[in-house]
Structure 1
Amino acid sequence: MNATGAWLRMTMKNIGGQDRIGYLFMAPPLLFMLAILGFPILYTVIMSFQEVSLRTLISGERPFVGIENYRAVLTSDAFYRALSHSLLFTVGSISMQFSIGLAFALLFRRQFWGANTLRGLVLSGWLIPAVVVGTLFVWLFNLDFGLVNFALMALGLIDRPVGWLVDPGIALLSVTLANVWYGIPFNVIVLSAGLAGLPEDVYEAATMDGANGFQKFRHITLPLMRQSILAVLMLGLIYTLRSFGLIWTMTRGGPSGATEVIPTLAYRVGFDFFRFSEAAVIAVFMVLLLLVVAIFYVRATGEEVA
């Protein structure tokens, strides 16, 4: 009995030591992440309560102004216009990226000639930086010599060139389509991984019961892929809400603010008008919005695992 008790105490001691060693190894990356991410966020929050402009940067004084910067931003029409554009851009991008990505993932699950080549072509877009993608679509949507207008006119769908990036009525749609193309590979990768882990015996049993393809997709594929679908939607939401490089390369928030979103507004307020405090407020709002999405994702995945 004494020997058993001694063995248990030794085992618990070893486990505790292993835990302490694990925490010790985790400390450097955690401190690094805290320094790289935590300090800029804290600095931005502090700046949002101060008067920081080009004048105060030169003088070195940063007077505390309380919530005055928040009042100025939250009563600005430009902020709500950028917020509405961000929501439209995000909803449009995610819905189309997910639908097309799921269709490609289901297609690539089947074996057919040229599947590997087609899969490589689809996934290659994920390796291209956002700035390069934006530059590519600027050429494609060019009013005078763009390939999109040329193809549509050759097919007889339009009788004159369309100003995809210069017409305020369709500029947001144009950058959304570019972002959809850019985000499809990520959706394909995540959803394909989810499809690869589905048990084949469930489909075989459904086939024996007389289920057709749509019934299998509705009652087997979608429920079993809930984790993958939730992951791709939440991560896509986070990536799209903070999208900057693609929009800035294509339109710089124009024309006439038609494609101005929260990230581009923060950049413009800070570096065009030198109202750094108000830019910090916009950045804080964006961080809070992303934090809400992240918390929802963590709680949802935790409930799925439980």
Structure 2
Amino acid sequence: MNRVTQAQAPPAARPVPAAGGGRRAVPRPRSAQWAAWAFLAPVAGYLLLFYAYPLYRNVELSLRDYTVRSFVQGDAPFIGFANYAKILGDPAFGPALWHTVVFTLVSLAFQFTIGLALAMFFLKNFRLSATLRALFLVPWLLPLIVSSSTWSWMLNSDSGIVNAFLSVFGAGPVHWLTSPDWSLWSVIIANIWIGIPFNLVVLYSGLQAIDPVIYEAAELDGANGRQRFWKVTFPLLRPVSAVTLLLGLVYTLKVFDIIWIMTRGGPSGSSTTFATWSYRLGFGNLLPAFGPGAAVGNLLIVMALVFGLIYIRAQRRQTFS
């Protein structure tokens, strides 16, 4: 019956034998290829329009001597890496770099640690667990301008609730937002509070994906709670942790709203990072320096790439070791 059916089939429908005795793969119809490109076109257009072109324009801005007039007319002269040399020689470069590194690393460390602790806590099924998890998402759902303004009010030196709480224990008022010693730590605290829910949600989903049978086997082998965490939970959670830290790194490096609303990078540049410095150079002065501002922004992109590559390389070494 099969031979008859194959014999009656039209020549175009018969499989073409390959040279090695197998069957050659039938090429995909051209209509299917066009359909695939049609689905990819909106995404490719979006990436080119909102990512590739702005990045190209930012690099182009950093390599030319733009003023307000030349920015409008488009006749800025090409000056090469002069803008980069200018910002590297600026006295504000060193403090801004240090503040960016401290702000990023401290925020990431506390966000990940607290988020992981909360994820482990909510992994246990208890009453009101879902309600509490939903409440922890509030800082993540609020607009940044609302969260930053709330922290500005809470940390106000005269009428803030934080100083009012400290006064109960006899502590004097702390100038959280107006002191060079405290301004950077104030914005770090606010950023940690805002970023904890993201770490909680991602790490909680990663913990749920771990098979409980592995914990039962470790417990039968005599492993205590601490050993189960370091020998089972943490290694199996490593892929999710890598994604969480990388996304948090990129987000934290470019944080602008929180710092600008709370301290505007002050006082005396004590909380200035690359993000706020780039904005101040490009838009915060009467005579904007578009070229140097774009150069600082490009250095911020390079920092994100370097930190990301270093972390990925470290994860690969741990994976293959």
Task: Say if 1:90 and 1:240, in contact at 8 Å, map to a contact too.
Answer: yes
Corresponding residue number in structure 2 for 1:153: 167
Write out per-residue CA displacement over residues 26-50 of structure 1, whole angstroms, 9 at most, x where no aligned residue.
1221122111111111111111111
SS in 2 for 1:219: helix
Matched, 1:210 2:248: no
Measured after TM superposition, the shift of residue 113 of structure 1 is 2.5
Is the alpha carbon distance of 1:130 and 1:209 closer, same or farther for their aligned partners in structure 2, counting shifts above 3 Å? same
Matched, 1:221 2:233: yes
Q: 2:289 pairs with 271, 275, 280, which one?
A: 275
Which structure is higher in helix share? Answer: 1
Q: 2:212 pairs with 200, 205, 226, which one?
A: 200
Corresponding residue number in structure 2 for 1:43: 57
Q: 2:250 pairs with 217, 238, 245, which one?
A: 238
Matched, 1:186 2:215: no
1:62-211 to 2 correspondences below 5 Å: 62-156=76-170, 158=171, 160-211=172-223
Corresponding residue number in structure 1 for 2:40: 26
Is the alpha carbon distance of 1:221 and 1:279 closer, same or farther for their aligned partners in structure 2, counting shifts above 3 Å? same
SS in 2 for 1:13: coil
Measured after TM superposition, the shift of residue 165 of structure 1 is 0.5
Which one-letter code corresponds to 1:148 in the other structure? V
In structure 1, how many angstroms separate the alpha carbons of the residues matched to 2:202 and 2:53? 32
Measured after TM superposition, the shift of residue 300 of structure 1 is 7.2
Name whichever of 136-145 and 296-305 sits farther off.
Answer: 296-305
Please give the root-mean-square deviation of Cα atoms over the aligned residues, in Å.
2.5
Is the alpha carbon distance of 1:138 and 1:295 closer, same or farther for their aligned partners in structure 2, counting shifts above 3 Å? same
SS in 2 for 1:65: coil
In structure 1, how many angstroms separate the alpha carbons of the residues matched to 2:233 and 2:30? 42
Corresponding residue number in structure 2 for 1:256: 268
Is the alpha carbon distance of 1:299 and 1:21 closer, same or farther for their aligned partners in structure 2, counting shifts above 3 Å? farther
Which one-letter code corresponds to 1:162 in the other structure? V
SS in 1 for 2:159: coil
Name whichever of 209-218 and 11-20 sits farther off.
Answer: 11-20
Matched, 1:14 2:28: yes
Write out per-residue CA displacement over residues 105-163 of structure 1, whole angstroms, 9 at most, x where no aligned residue.
0000001222222111111211012111110000000111101111111133x1x2110
Corresponding residue number in structure 1 for 2:298: 284
Higher relative contact order (CA 8 A, sep 6+): 1
Name whichever of 52-61 and 252-261 sits farther off.
Answer: 52-61
In structure 2, how many angstroms separate the alpha carbons of the residues matched to 1:263 and 1:55? 25
> Any gaps of 5 or more consecutive residues in structure 1?
none
Q: How many residues align?
A: 303
Write out per-residue CA displacement over residues 225-267 of structure 1, whole angstroms, 9 at most, x where no aligned residue.
0101111111111100000011111011011101000010000
> Any gaps of 5 or more consecutive residues in structure 2?
7-13
- Give the structure with higher Rg (CA): 2
